[in-house]
Amino acid sequence: MQIIYDSVRPYLLPLTGCQDNSTADQKQHSRHRYRSCQVLLASAAHQTKAMGYDIERFVGYVNDGLLCCICRDVLENPLQAPCEHAYCTSCIHGWLVHHHNCPEDRQALDLSMLRPLFRYMRNDLNRLQIRCRNREHGCEMVCSLESVDRHERECEYSRIPCTNASCPMQVERRNLEAHLAVCEYRSRECLNGCGYTILNADDTHHNCVAELRTELELLRSEMICKVEEVRHEMESRLDSQRRHMVQKESLLKNEIEELKSQMSRVMSDVRTLLAAERLHRQDLEQAELEKRELMELLKSLQRDGRAGSNIAEGGVRKTSGTRTLARLDSIKRKPREVTVI
89 lies in the site for Zn ion, by CB under 5 A: no
79 lies in the site for Zn ion, by CB under 5 A: no
Site string for Zn ion, 115-154 (x = CB under 5 A): -----------------x-x----x-x-------------
Distance CA 67, CA 72 (A): 5
Distance CA 267, CA 280 (A): 19
User: Helix, strand or coil for residue 303?
Assistant: helix
Taking CB under 5 A as the criterion, the residue among 88, 130, 145, 148 binding Zn ion is 88
User: How many residues bind Zn ion, per CB under 5 A?
Assistant: 28
Nearest approach, Cβ of 35 to Zn ion (angstroms)? 15
The nearer residue to Zn ion, 68 or 114, going by C-beta atoms, is: 68
Taking CB under 5 A as the criterion, the residue among 55, 194, 199, 276 binding Zn ion is 194
Distance CA 161, CA 248 (A): 81
Calculate the alpha carbon distances from 195 to 203, 207, 222 in Å: 15, 12, 19
Site string for Zn ion, 39-68 (x = CB under 5 A): ------------xx---------------x
**Residue 341 C-beta-side C-alpha neighbours within 13 Å:** 12
Q: Candidates 79-87, 248-256, 262-270, 281-289 — which segment interacts with Zn ion by CB under 5 A?
A: 79-87
In degrees and rounded to multiples of 5, residue 339 shows phi and psi of -100, 125
Contact 74, 55 (CB under 8 A): yes
Nearest approach, Cβ of 234 to Zn ion (angstroms)? 39
Distance CA 120, CA 78 (A): 13
Nearest to 109 by CA among 97, 119, 120, 121: 97
Q: Where are the alpha helices (DSSP H) in 49-127?
A: 89-96, 119-127
Nearest approach, Cβ of 47 to Zn ion (angstroms)? 13
Taking CB under 5 A as the criterion, the residue among 143, 176, 201, 208 binding Zn ion is 208
Which residues contact Zn ion (rule: CB under 5 A)? 51-52, 68, 70-71, 83, 85, 88, 91, 102, 104-105, 132, 134, 139, 141, 155, 162, 164, 167, 169, 183, 185, 190, 192, 194, 196, 208
